[in-house]
A and B are shown apart, each in its own frame.
Chain A
Amino acid sequence: GDSVTQMEGPVTLSEEAFLTINCTYTATGYPSLFWYVQYPGEGLQLLLKATKADDKGSNKGFEATYRKETTSFHLEKGSVQVSDSAVYFCALLRSGNTGKLIFGQGTTLQVKP
């Protein structure tokens, strides 16, 4: 079945460091891909999305490119801040009309001053 795999956390970085969180997926058809972020004690917020191959999603300095050839959607940010500390979830929305969002296990990011 369809699945999403994220790199194990926690990821600990110093402020202004470069961030990459790896995400790969397995899916039949052509899913849409998402990154959601969860701050402590809160629900999920959409960070960015891409709906087809080679699309780049971007928001708040974060970027991810839909790579069909490597089935990947890695999240990057050039310079992280302490306020970026959160759990990041990669997810796919399957082709077809199911509305079924499939999540990776989440990656915790800690940014230290």
Chain B
Amino acid sequence: ETGVTQTPRHLVMGMTNKKSLKCEQHLGHNAMYWYKQSAKKPLELMFVYNFKEQTENNSVPSRFSPECPNSSHLFLHLHTLQPEDSALYLCASSLGTDKGNTIYFGEGSWLTVV
């Protein structure tokens, strides 16, 4: 139990579907993140939110749409994805975004696009 909970743990979706990944943190943190882990690339940052405001978008395609309604919840809305988007999507949180902070990860959501 890391204090960062992701649902669903596994998701299979067609290319025309719309689905969402959910993340909730119980650590009292102010910053939340989405990372993507695929088989052939290193872990890569997608989005950063700090106090509900997006502070980083790492050139992510618009078919991925994040939403952060409050500091405890983060969503990743998915639509018209491609098979190459199949990956493990990891949510994370930290108290702040400066380098003195530690970033804690959830268990991840395994996404398969068919």
Q: Which one of B11-19, B59-67, B74-82, B96-104 is at the interface?
A: B96-104
CB closest chain-B residue, reference A46: B102
How many chain A residues touch B (CB < 8 A): the figure is 27
Q: Does B70 contact A (CB under 8 A)?
A: no
- Find A101's partner among B88, B103, B106 (CB 8 Å cutoff): B103
| A21 and B31 alpha carbons, distance in the complex (Å) | 30
CB closest chain-B residue, reference A42: B107
- Find B45's partner among A32, A36, A101 (CB 8 Å cutoff): A101
Q: Which one of A63-71, A76-84, A91-99 is at the interface?
A: A91-99
Which of under 10, 10 to 19, 20 to 34, or 35 or more describes the interface residues of B?
20 to 34
Q: Does A51 contact B (CB under 8 A)?
A: yes
- Interface of chain A, main secondary structure: loop
Are A99 and B42 in contact, CB atoms less than 8 angstroms apart?
A: no
Are B103 and A99 in contact, CB atoms less than 8 angstroms apart?
A: yes
Are B90 and A43 in contact, CB atoms less than 8 angstroms apart?
A: yes
If A44-B90, A106-B42 touch, does A99 touch B102 (CB 8 Å cutoff)? no
Which residues of B approach A to under 8 Å, CB–CB?
Answer: 2, 6, 31, 33, 35, 42-45, 48, 50, 55-56, 88, 90, 92, 94, 96-108
Beyond A99-B103, A103-B43, 14 additional pairs, beta carbon < 8 A: A36-B105, A51-B99, A96-B99, A97-B97, A98-B48, A99-B48, A99-B55, A99-B56, A99-B98, A100-B56, A101-B45, A101-B103, A103-B44, A105-B42
